[in-house]
Amino acid sequence: MNFRRIALLLPLTVVPWLDASAVSWEEKQFNPMPDNEDVILPMPCEGAMVFRKAYIPLAGPLDDFPVKVGQDGAEYGYVEQTRPAFIAGSFTGAKTDKSRYYLMAKYELTQLQYRALTDEKCPEPSNKLRLPQVNVSWLDAMQAADKYNLWLRKNAVDKLPKEDGSAGFLRLPTEIEWEFAARGGVDVSAAEFRDTRYPMPENMNAYEWFAGSQSSNGQLQLTGLLKPNPLGLHDMLGNADEMMFEPFRLNKLDRQHGQAGGYVVRGGNYLTASADIRTSLRQEDPYYNADGQMKSKTTGFRLAMVSQTLTSRDRVKAIESSWKTLGTGSEEPAQGEGKGTVQALNSLASSVDDKALKEKLQALENQLRATNLLQEENRDQAIRASLNLGAFLCTKMLDDGQYLDFTQKNYALNCEGSEKDPTCDMRKAKLDEQKSRVHKLGLYYASSLVESASLYGQPLLEKQVPVMDEIMDRNKQLQALKPYLKAHWSNQKTFLQKQKIDADAWLTACKAVKQ
C-alpha cells in the first residue's frame, strides 16, 4: 500500500494508522494473560485485540444448539426468568469439523484500544490505559466497531476469519452470544452452565471485580488482572457493565415480550454487590437521557466477531434444501404419523384451487412442521443425554469390574489353598457384595442400553454420537469420557444388530478401555 499517496489525498485529516510516530504495543498492554488458544487481530497504531473461540456443536447450515438462559427463582422474573434459546456459530474450520464458532473479545475494550480507533493521533501505550473504556454511549460503541471493521478491511483483511469465503465482521454481542460465553459454553457441564455463575474453584474474588474493600474497593480495575472463566474470557462479570447489540425486552414466561426498549447491559460492575453478581443479571439503559446520548462511568463493552448468514449462492441452496426438510421427517429413517400428516397436508394443499383454503392448509402444515421440529430437537437432546449416561456407566463398570477382579484374586490367594486365612468369611462376604454390586450395575446399564435402542433406533442414535463426541472434546471435564463413549456405542450397536443382552461382554468391553 502506498501510504504517502494516501496521506497526500487526505491532507486535512490525521488518520491514526498512518501516524509514523506510533509505538508498537507490548503484549502486556493488550494481552496481559496470554494463552495458546488466543486469536489475535491487529489494530491501528501498531496495536492488537485478542479473541477467544466459543464453539457450538453441529455444523449444518440450519443446525443450532439448545440452551437455557436466565435464572429460575430470580426476584425479577420479568427481567431474568429462565427461557429456552438457541445458538449457532458463525465460522467453520476444516470440512471435517463437527462444530462452528464465533469469536468473543478476551477482555473488555480498553481505553488504549478505544483511543487507537477514535483519536486523531495514536495514543502513547501505557499500562494505565488498560482500564476498560467506560463513559461511552451505545452509538459510540457501534461507531468504534465500525471504524475497526473498516480499518481491518483496508489493512488486514487476510487476518479476518472467513466463512464460505466471506470475511467476518465485528459488532456488539447479542445477549445469547454473551450469556453462552459468560456461562462457559460447552466447556462446562450442563449443571454448571445452569448455575448462577460459572465454576470458580478459588472463590469469586479470584475471578471478578465487585463492590467492597475485599474486591474493587469502588474503583474500576485494569483488564486481565484476575483469572478467566472456562472459555478464557476475563471480567465477564463485574468490573465494567457490558452493552449488548439488541434492544431490551421483558420476559413473558417462556418467551420475550413484544416491546423493544433501550439497550441491554449485562454482567454487573465494580459497584455491584457480590450477592448480585450472576450470569443472568441484565438491565435496560436508555439510548438517550436529558444530557443527550446515555453514558455511564460503570458501563463499557467488548466486541464479538461473527459472519453474515447468506454468504453465497451455494450456501443459500444448502439452507433452502435444509429448510424444506425441517419437521417433515424426510431425513429420518422411519416416518411417524406426524410426518405422514405433513406430507398429506402438502399434497392436499397442492391439489386445492381455492386460495383461502390453500393458505389455511399451508398454515396447518407449517404449524405441524414446527411441532415436529421441536419434538425432534428435544429427542436429539435426550439421545445425547442417553449417550452421556452410557459413557458414564461404562466408567462405573470398569471401576467396579476391576475391583471385583481384585477381590476375587485376593480371595483365591488367601482362601482357596490348603491353609485358609482366618479372615476368609469376611473376604467371602465382601466378594459376594461386590459381585452383587457389579450384577446390579450391569442390569441397570443393560436396561439403559435396551431402552435407548427401543426408543430411538440405530440411525437416530448414530447421528448424535459425533455430536456428543464433539461436546466431550470441547469440555475438559468430559474429555476423559470419550473412550468410554466409544466403548458404549460399540455395545449399543452390538445389541441393535443382534438384539441380545450380553452383560458380561459389555462389562468386558468397558473394562478394556485404555485410560
CA 359 remoteness from chain centre: 38
Residue 143 cell numbers, joined = 461507531
Write down the pLDDT at residue 332: 60
Distance CA 485, CA 385 (A): 12
Which stretches within 119-261 are classed as H helix?
A: 138-155, 175-183, 190-193
CA distance 490 to 498: 12
* Nearest-angstrom CA–CA distance, 482 and 488: 10
Summarised one tens digit per residue, pLDDT across range 417-445 is: 767 778 888 888 999 999 999 999 999 99
Residue-wise pLDDT tens digits, 49-72: 999 999 999 878 899 999 999 998
Grid cell 470440512 in the structure block, residue: 95
Alpha-carbon distance 62 to 326, whole Å?
9
Pairing of the two strands 162-163 and 166-167: antiparallel
Q: How far apart are CA 484 and CA 364, in angstroms?
A: 44
Q: Dig out the grid coordinates for 142 from the structure.
A: 457501534
Are 503 and 442 in contact by the 8 Å Cβ rule? The answer is yes
| Mean pLDDT, residues 82-97 taken together | 89
Closest CA to 275 of 239, 242, 238, 243: 238
Q: Answer with the residue of higher pLDDT: 514 or 116.
A: 116
Q: Per residue in 68-88, pLDDT tens?
A: 999 987 678 999 999 999 999
Give the 3-state secondary structure of residue 205: helix
Angle CA(406)–CA(411)–CA(414) in degrees, nearest 5?
125
Interatomic CA distance for residues 470 and 453, integer angstroms? 22
CA distances to 86, 183, 478, 509 from 469, rounded to whole Å, are 20, 21, 9, 18
Spell out the alpha helix ranges (H) of 251-354: 313-325, 337-351
Q: Report residue 67 as a C-alpha cell.
A: 440452551
Output the nine-digit C-alpha cell for 380: 436429539
Per-residue confidence band for 21, with pLDDT thresholds at 50, 70 and 90: low
Q: Distance (Å, rounded) from C-alpha 222 to C-alpha 31?
A: 12
Count other Cβ atoms within 10 Å, centred on residue 154.
11
Asked if residue 8 has pLDDT above 50, the reply is no
Count other Cβ atoms within 10 Å, centred on residue 225. Answer: 13
Measured CA to CA, the distance from residue 343 to residue 340 in angstroms comes to 5
- Round to whole Å and give the CA distance between 507 and 489: 13
- pLDDT attached to residue 440: 95
Please provide residue 290's backbone torsions phi and psi, each rounded to the nearest 5 degrees.
Answer: -65, -25
Residue 423's identity, in one-letter code, is: T
What pTM was computed for the model? 0.88
The neighbouring-strand residues paired with 163 are: 166
C-alpha cell at 382: 435426550
Which pLDDT value is given to residue 355?
A: 85
Q: Which pLDDT does position 6 carry in this prediction?
A: 32
List C-alpha distances in Å: 335 to 27, 70, 459. Answer: 58, 36, 13
Residue 458 C-beta-side C-alpha neighbours within 13 Å: 10
Express each pLDDT in 186-212 by its tens digit: 999 889 999 999 999 999 999 999 999
b/e per residue, 419-438, with b = 16+ CB within 10 A? eeeeeeeebeeebeebeeeb
